[in-house]
Structure 1
Amino acid sequence: MNSTTTPVRVGLVGLSARGGWAPHSHVPALARLDGYELRALAASGEASARAAGEKYGVPLAFGSAADLVRSDEVDLVVVSVRVPLHREVILGALGAGKAVLSEWPLGNGLAEAEELAAAAEQAGVRTFAGLQARSAPAVRFVRDLVADGYVGEVLSTSLVASGRRWGPVFEPAGEYLLDRRNGGTMLTIPFGHTVDAVSMVLGEFTEVSATLATRRPVVREEGTGRRAAMTVDDQIAVSGRLESGAVASAHFRGGLSRGTNFHWEINGTDGDLVITGDSGHLQQAALTVRGARGADPAVRELPVPGRYFDVPALDDLRGLPAYNVGAQYARMLAGPAEGDAPVPDFTHALRRQRLLDAIERAAATGTRVALRQTP
C-alpha cells in the first residue's frame, strides 16, 4: 500500500462501543500512524454503529458490513469480527474491489481459507492476514540471531505454552470460543499465531504428528458458575520436522499454569536461545529473550536492540497488544525493511491453515502427515 499523498481510508468491521479486541488494538494503532485514517466502521446494527462512531470519533458508521464495503470513502476493509462471519465480509469486500486485512484465522476451516485465497487472487487486490506476532520486535530479533548464526546449526526447538482461555472458567463474551464448529479455538488462535512466528524464525514444517484432547468437557461461566459444554481441544501436543531437518515440539495447555505460561527454546550446535512470556498468545505477549553460546555456562538476558522498535509513533504502546498490530500496519504501508519477511497475505494465511489442518488429521489418524511446501 502507498500513502505518499493521502492517508489510506480504513473501514473497520466489528468495532463495538462495548469493547473487545478492535478498540484495544486497531483503534489506538491507527490513531498514531499518519498514513491511515479510520474513516468508517460497521457494527451489528445501526444503533450499535452510531454508538461506536460517537465513542471513537469515526465519521462514517454503517449498520452492516455490506454498506461499508460499498462506500467510496473506504480503501482498506479491516475484518475484526468472529471467525464464522469472516467469509461473508471478506467476499463482499473483495467483490467491491477493496484491499482487505483479515484477523487471523482467515476462514472457519481449510475449505473457507482456500475459497477466500482463491477469491482474493481473482479479485487482484492486496490482502493481509493479521498474523502480527511476526512483527513483534522480540520475534524479529530472535529471527536475526538465528540467521546470523548465534546458535550455530539449529538442532531442535521446543515450546510449552498456555492458551489463557479454554481453562476451567470462561468469560461470558467468550462462550462462542467453546464450540469447535465456530473456528475460534486454541489451535487456530494462540497456537496458530505462535506457530506462524516459529516458522518465520526457523522455517516451515515438513511433517507433523499430533495428539489433541479435550480434558475439560464441561467448564463454568465466570461470575455465575453456569456450566457449559466445551468441545474445543484444550491440550495440543505437536511434534515434527522443519525444512532444515531440525526437530520441533510444541505443547499448548488450556487456561493458565501456576508454573510456566510461555517457554520457547532453540537449541543449536553452538548455543541456545530461550524466549519466555506471560502466555501462549505470542502476538500479544510481553517477551524476554535470553541466550548463551560457546563457553557461556548459563543463559543471560539479551535486550532487544532499539532498532527493532522502528515505528516511533507507536512508542507509547510498547508492551501493549496494539504495538504489534500497529507495527504490522506500518509495514503494510512502507513494505518490509531489508531482511524482514513480507507482511502475510491470504496466500500465506492459507499455508498456515493447511498446517493446522495437517495437525488435526495427524491427531485423528495417529499418523505422521507430510506437508506440501507450495502454498
Structure 2
Amino acid sequence: MTDTLRVGIVGLSAERGWAAHAHVPAIRAVEGIELVGGCASSPESSAKAAVAHGLDRVYDTAEELAGSDDVDLVVITVKVSRHRELVEAALTAGKAVLCEWPLGNGLSEAQELASRATDAGVPHFVGLQVLSAPFIAHLGDVVRSGEIGEILSTSILASGSTWGPKIASDQIYLLDPAEGATMLTIPMGHTLAGVEAVLGNVTSVQATTAVRRPTAVESPDGRVHERGTPDQIAVMGTLGSGIPMVVHYRGGMSRATNFHWEINGTLGDIVVTGVHGHMQMGMVRIAIASRDDQKLHPLPTPGEYERVHGLPETTPAYVVAHSYEQLVHGLHAGTKTLPDFADGVRHHRLLSAIEHAAATGTLTPVEPPARNGLHS
C-alpha cells in the first residue's frame, strides 16, 4: 500500500446512489485517501461514472477492480444480496475491503464472510457509519461522565421513511425479504448500533413485527407491489447493565414524530431528534436537562469531536467521511478504529435475535461478543 490509500468503489453510478452522494464526497474530504476508480452495473455505466466523477481509471467488473494494482481498498456499495460474491472477490485478490451494512444477507452469510476475511489476513471493515459520528462519541462521553446520573431507561420512536405507502422504482427490491435490505437491517440496525455505542450492548429482546400496509405503490407509474417485509417493528430489550430499552420503527413518514430518542437518568434527560430514522446519516439535534435544569437546552457537539472539515453536517457524506478518517488513521497506526467483520457478525446476531423473538413471541437472549469490540 502506498502512503495514500487508493480506493475503488463497487456500485459507483454517475448520479444516483449512496456511493455517489456519500462515499465520493467523503473520500475527497479526507487526507491520505484517494478515489481512483469504480465500477457500476455494466461497462457502459462504469464509463459514465468515471466521467461524472473525474476518474482516469474505468473498471468493467468488480473482479477487474479488485485485481488492479492501482487499488488498495475495495468498497462495496451495492445491494445486500450481492455482498458475499463481491466481498469474496476482493478477499481473493488480497485486498482490504470495506463492505456497507448489512455485511451479509443474514447471519449465516455474515459468519461466512468473517471467516473468509480472517483466513485472507487482510484488513476488513463493515460500514456501520453511526459508530464514527461525532455526536455519538460525544453522547457516550456525556453519559459516562455521570452528567445525567445513573441511566434509568431509553426509548426511541422513529420512521423508516422508505417502507411506506409509496416506493420509488429503483427501491422495489426493498419489499423483498430475500434481498436482505429491510427496515430492521438498515435504519433500525444502524440506530441500534448507535444505541449500543452510547449505552452498552443489548443482552435480550422481545419483539413484535407486522405488515400493516400489505402493498406499496410504485412512483411514478402507480403499479402496486406486495410488501414482503414488516413495516412495523416494536422491540423491548435490556442492556447489559439492566437498562430497559423500547424501540418502535414505523414504515413511511409521520406527520408528527420521525425520530425521537430519549435517554433518561436519575439526574437528567437527553433527547436526540432528527428528520428520519436513519441515524447513521447524522442530521440530528441533541438537547439535555440535568441536575437543576428545569427545561431542555441544546447540547452541541464540541469541535474537538469533529475530525473532518469542509462538509456540512446536513449532508450524508459527513458521517461517512469520519469513518474514512478513522479507517486511514487505524491502518497507519496499526490500531482498530472501525468495526470489522467480527463486529458485523455480532450485530447480525442482535438483529437475528429480534427476528426470532418476533417469530416465536419469546424473550430471546443476544449472544455476547466473542471478543472485545468497539463497544463491548
Determine the structure 2 residue equivalent to 1:322: 317
Instruction: List aligned pairs for 1:260-339, cutoff 5 A.
Output: 260-312=257-309, 315-335=310-330
Determine the structure 2 residue equivalent to 1:209: 206
Offset, 1:295 = 2.3
Offset, 1:247 = 0.5
Partner SS for 1:316 = coil
Distance 2:91 2:283 in 1: 35
Determine the structure 1 residue equivalent to 2:107: 110
State which drifts further: 144-153 or 76-85.
Answer: 144-153
Equivalent residue letter for 2:48: A
State which drifts further: 300-309 or 80-89.
Answer: 300-309
Partner SS for 2:262 = strand
Identity of aligned residues (%): 49
Provide, for residues 70-124 of structure 1, a one-character-per-residue CA deviation record: whole Å limited to 9, x for no partner. 1111100000011101000001111111100000000111110010011111111
Determine the structure 2 residue equivalent to 1:179: 176
Equivalent residue letter for 1:106: L
Determine the structure 1 residue equivalent to 2:346: 351
Q: Say yes or no: does 1:360 pair with 2:355.
A: yes
Q: Say yes or no: does 1:189 pair with 2:179.
A: no
CA contact 2:73–2:96 (8 Å) conserved in 1: yes
Aligned residue pairs, count = 367
Offset, 1:18 = 4.1
Offset, 1:300 = 1.2
| TM-score, normalisation: structure 2 | 0.95
Structure 1, gaps ≥5 residues long: none
Instruction: List aligned pairs for 1:151-166, cutoff 5 A.
Output: 151-166=148-163
Superposed CA RMSD in Å reads 1.5
Partner SS for 2:271 = strand
Determine the structure 2 residue equivalent to 1:235: 232
Distance 1:74 1:303 in 2: 38
Aligned pair partner of 2:67 in 58, 67, 70: 70
Distance 1:43 1:119 in 2: 25
Offset, 1:341 = 8.5
Q: Say yes or no: does 1:369 pair with 2:364.
A: yes
| TM-score, normalisation: structure 1 | 0.95
Provide, for residues 146-196 of structure 1, a one-character-per-residue CA deviation record: whole Å limited to 9, x for no partner. 011111111110001000100000011111111111000000000010000
Partner SS for 2:281 = coil
Structure 2, gaps ≥5 residues long: 371-376
Equivalent residue letter for 1:241: T
Equivalent residue letter for 2:38: L
Determine the structure 1 residue equivalent to 2:374: none
Partner SS for 2:142 = helix
Partner SS for 1:16 = coil
Distance 2:43 2:217 in 1: 33
Q: Which runs of 4+ in 1 moved over 3 A?
A: none
Distance 1:18 1:134 in 2: 27
Equivalent residue letter for 1:21: W
Provide, for residues 289-348 of structure 1, a one-character-per-residue CA deviation record: whole Å limited to 9, x for no partner. 111111222211112211122223xx2332210010001000111139xxx983111111
Offset, 1:373 = 1.0
